[in-house]
Amino acid sequence: MTDGRKLRNVFGQFASGVTVVTTTAADGTPHGATVTAFTSISLEPRLCQVTLTRTSKACAILGDNNFAVNILASDQDDVALHFAGRPREEPIRWGDHEIAPSLDGNLATLWCTPWAQYDGGDHIIFIGEIADAEIAEHRNPLLFFRSTFHDIGPTSHDGLWTHSGDDPLTGWFGANAELRPLI
């Protein structure tokens, strides 16, 4: 088995988007944490997942609170660093939403209510039901790859992919598909 550092490096080969998960602490102040462990789960019901280190302050604050997943734009690397523990000089611009505090200037924002929590080893997996969402058009995402922030760069082709390839009604593995070995 590989050691922890090597495994972290292997995980770092997977490029991901960058989010800041925000919520309100018991004293009413907004808090956030930079999180790359985010994924969509379901369209019906509308669910997404964030995973936080079990021993982090953010994990303790999130608890059973409403939260926002702020999907960062390529020009928000300083915001990502701020919520990862490297505070910036410029004050954070908070948005005003009735479900949970959020950040201004995001690529997209999901406001969530708690759905479930699961043990994830040294992490806790938080599932949120998406109550509201907002997209800022014509911006690029902030990416994280090999422990460094990146911009998405130019598109690699002209084709627009509009559906999941494994959808049983439209994709590769339709209800009548026969799966055969390659050999």
Whether 173 maps to a domain, the answer reads no
Number of separate domains in the chain: 1
Q: What's the mean pLDDT when you consider all of the chain?
A: 83
Q: Is there a domain that residue 78 lies in?
A: yes
Q: Are 71 and 106 in contact, with CB atoms under 8 Å apart? A: yes
Q: What are phi and psi of 10, to 5 degrees?
A: -65, -50
Q: Are 61 and 31 in contact (CB under 8 A)?
A: yes
pLDDT per residue as tens digits for the range 99-110: 999 999 999 999
Question: Model-level pTM greater than 0.75?
Answer: yes
Residue 34 domain-assigned (yes or no): yes
Nearest alpha carbon to residue 145 among 14, 52, 57, 47: 14
Q: How confident is the model at residue 8 (pLDDT cuts 50, 70, 90)?
A: low
CATH number at residue 56: 2.30.110.10
Between CA 130 and CA 45 the distance in angstroms is 8
**pLDDT at residue number 160:** 58
Q: Determine the Cα–Cα distance for residues 103 and 17; give it in Å rounded to an integer.
A: 16
Is 84 within a domain? yes
| Within a domain: 30 | yes
Q: Spell out the alpha helix ranges (H) of the chain.
A: 4-11, 57-62, 77-82
Q: What's the domain range around 83? A: 16-151
Residue 5 lies in a domain: no
* Exposure of 95 in the CB half-sphere (CA atoms within 13 A): 21
Rounded CA separation 151/74 (Å): 6
pLDDT tens-digit profile of 42-66? Answer: 999 999 999 999 988 888 898 899 9
In a domain, 171, yes or no: no
Whether residue 98 is contained in a domain is answered as yes
Percentage of the chain exceeding pLDDT 70 = 76
pLDDT of 137: 78
